[in-house]
Amino acid sequence: MKILALETSTETASVALLDGERLLERSVAGRPGHSETILPEIRSLLLDAGVSLDALDAIAFGAGPGAFTGLRLACGVAQGLAMGLGKPVIPVGTLAALASQCPHDAIFVAADARMSEVYFA
């Protein structure tokens, strides 16, 4: 299964490709302007992986919580690509994705929400 994943809700934008057991990723840290970099990063990642858009099985995106504009960007790009390709869209909760990396049963996940606020689960 080939899944393209997008995350743009934080200061670091990233794109990743899960291709069976192989995981490739690109990230751009500490710069605003994810809207300028996301499509070139997707293209670069797919070219390096030797995978065409048509070969994708699904497109996932980080569904937040996070920066509103960043969430709209990832959601819009994912939906636009998926609609054009006839592929499903998979929204992934950002905090749930972070929590899934921990082997413990009970965990607390927190992320900076800016303006002295915190997202947590």
- What pLDDT score was predicted for residue 75? 98
Please report the domains of the chain, with CATH numbers, ordered by start residue: 2-93 (3.30.420.40)
* 44 sits in which H/E element: helix 34-49
| β-strand partners of 62 | 92
Q: How far apart are CA 105 and CA 37, in angstroms?
A: 37
- Rounded mean pLDDT of 7-18? 93
pTM: 0.90
- What pLDDT score was predicted for residue 37? 92
Cβ-proximal residues to 16 (8 Å cutoff; 6+ apart), any chain: 4, 5, 7, 23, 24, 25, 26, 45
Instruction: List, for residues 22-64, the tens digit of each pLDDT value.
Output: 999 999 887 668 899 999 999 999 999 999 999 999 999 999 9
